[in-house]
Amino acid sequence: MAEIKDFFIGEPERIDILPGEYAGPLTIKHSCTIDGHGATLWTKKGASLIVDAPNVTIKNLRVELITQTKEFIAVEVRHKNVQLENVEVYGNIRGLDSASEDWNLPRTIDFGNFAAGERNEFSSCFKINESCRVINSVYGLNIEPQSLSPGEVDLRLTIEPMKDGMIIYGSFLLETSNKILRRVYISGRARKGATIHVAPKKFFPASNPQQKNSSRSDSASKIKRGQRIFAPNVEKISVAFKANDLPPNMTIDACAFCLGKDKKVQRDTDLIFFNNPRHDSLGVSLDSNGNTSGISLSLKDLPNEIQSVVICFSIYDEGNRSDDFSILSAPKVIICADIPYEFPLNLGREKIFTALEFYRDKDAWKIHFIGLGLKNNFKQLCESYGVEVL
């Protein structure tokens, strides 16, 4: 196996490392930019990467200390103005202003044998020292929450139903705001007759109290169209529409359809809008805020006959005005709960759209992010869910 020192001749301003695995340590003693091109640098003992010079940028590199030690320092920085970009680290980082030491992450989460043909839920407690987001590419695995704040956090890991004998294997990443990555591997096997795993219903992701009710986009967990997540396990969830520079004479109305198993309302009062601002159960209600309205939900208060709640937004069409969603800048739906979620929208000439659906999945509630603009009018939308409009 090549040693990393083979790449250093003289003192160039930029150093490119060919993809591969290299035994460290690597000590940098002059200002430069190093592009690892996905290479891995490792040591069995001691820091794998030592930066002993200012004005150094290191990117696209994996750094590993493969033997667990007391301090477990994989990267040691001894000067200022050092940047790590898209650098994956196994071990701690010492001396970097933008990174914290002492992460407590498992290297591998082993699910063992779990019930085939069933949805299985697990929870794992991490110690997080910096705000970060979860990057998950494992097919059949869902992870919540996806945005983490410093502190102890319980991750809920849900495996979708798998056939007997199938193996789940892969990894997910935690990416900090300064693009430092930390990887956790997962493994397990579906077995017929094995125990069905169910995570505790209450799990408490670490959060910053000052951000708990914030809807700022820089602290929100970004959601993509079509994504499904577990609904936050909180007393109240608020759903609102937002856009940059909303015209003062434009009114955005919210409505919610409380649906049964047949995807229809059971009675006309299951439509929540400005003429019927709250459900009989008090589980769904209309919120008004100036020229926009939103929906508040208390999911635990909804009766069992309500299997889903579809939330829509529309432009109030007084006087047959010609405005549509295409004139708005950066439209989005904001969900405020334990942490805020931001759902960016791609809307066109429509005046009404279906935002999302809360739906029951066994003993839990989930959210399906739809974001679909509709060409039909509000009357046709109501009739599609079984509401008779005269």
Mean pLDDT over the full length of the chain: 83
Q: Is residue 205 part of a domain?
A: no
Asked if the structure places residue 203 within a domain, the reply is: no
Q: For 194-198, 252-256, 261-265, 366-370, which range has the lowest pLDDT when averaged over its residues?
A: 194-198
| Burial of 133: CB neighbours in 10 Å, binned 0-12, 13-18, 19+ | middle
Q: Which residues contact 157 (CB under 8 A, 6 or more apart)?
A: 109, 111, 121, 122, 123, 124, 141, 142, 143, 186, 199
pLDDT number for residue 354: 94
Rounded to whole angstroms, how far apart are CA atoms 336 and 340?
5
Region of poorest pLDDT, from 229-233, 260-264, 375-379: 375-379
Has residue 196 been placed in a domain?
Answer: no
Least confident of 173-177, 236-240, 257-261, 266-270: 173-177
pLDDT at 284 over 90: yes
* Beta carbons within 10 angstroms of residue 200's beta carbon: 11
Is the pLDDT at 73 greater than 50? The verdict is: yes
C-alpha closest to that of 304 among 254, 358, 260, 240: 260
Residue 209 maps to a domain: no
What total number of domains does the chain contain?
A: 3
What pLDDT shows up at residue 381?
A: 87
Contacts by residues 281-285 (CB-CB < 8 Å, ≥ 24 positions apart): 281/306, 283/258, 284/256, 284/258, 284/309
Residues 358, 234 share a domain: yes
pLDDT at 323: 78
Residue 210 confidence (pLDDT): 37
pLDDT band at 337 (very low <50, low <70, confident <90, very high): confident
pLDDT digits (tens, 9 = 90+) for 194-227: 988 886 644 434 333 333 333 344 456 788 888 8
Note the pLDDT tens digit of each residue in 287-328.
876 667 899 999 999 999 999 999 999 988 655 566 788 888
Instruction: Identify whether 221 is part of a domain.
Output: yes
Q: What is the pLDDT of residue 209?
A: 35
Q: In this predicted structure, which of 43-47, 113-117, 125-129, 263-267 has the lowest mean pLDDT?
A: 125-129
pLDDT score at 98? 59
Please give the structure tokens belonging to residue 13.
Answer: 């301003």
Specify whether 119 is located in the same domain as 253. Answer: no
pLDDT at residue 217, as a whole number: 42
Do 178 and 225 fall into the same domain? no
Calculate ∠ Cα 259-353-357, nearest 5°: 35
Q: State what percent of residues in the chain have pLDDT above 70.
A: 85
Q: How many CB atoms lie within 10 A of CB 12?
A: 13
Question: Which token pair is 388?
Answer: 């008779």
Question: Are 229 and 326 part of one and the same domain?
Answer: yes
CA distance 231 to 360: 10
- The average pLDDT across 260-268 equals 92
Query: Over the stretch 355-370, which tens digit does the pLDDT of each residue have?
Result: 999 999 888 899 999 9
77 plus 123 within the same structural domain: no
Tokens standing for residue 174: 């935690």
Tell whether 159 and 85 lie within a shared domain.
no
Q: Is the pLDDT of residue 181 over 70?
A: yes
Question: Would the pLDDT of 267 be above 80?
Answer: yes
Domain CATH number, residue 377: 2.60.60.30
pLDDT at position 13 over 50:
yes
Question: What is the pLDDT at residue 99?
Answer: 61
Q: Which residue has the higher pLDDT, 43 or 209?
A: 43
Residue 380 maps to a domain: yes
Q: By residue range, what is the domain housing residue 365?
A: 215-384
9 pLDDT more than 80: no
- Which pLDDT score, from 0 to 100, does residue 380 have? 85
Higher per-residue confidence, 84 vs 205: 84
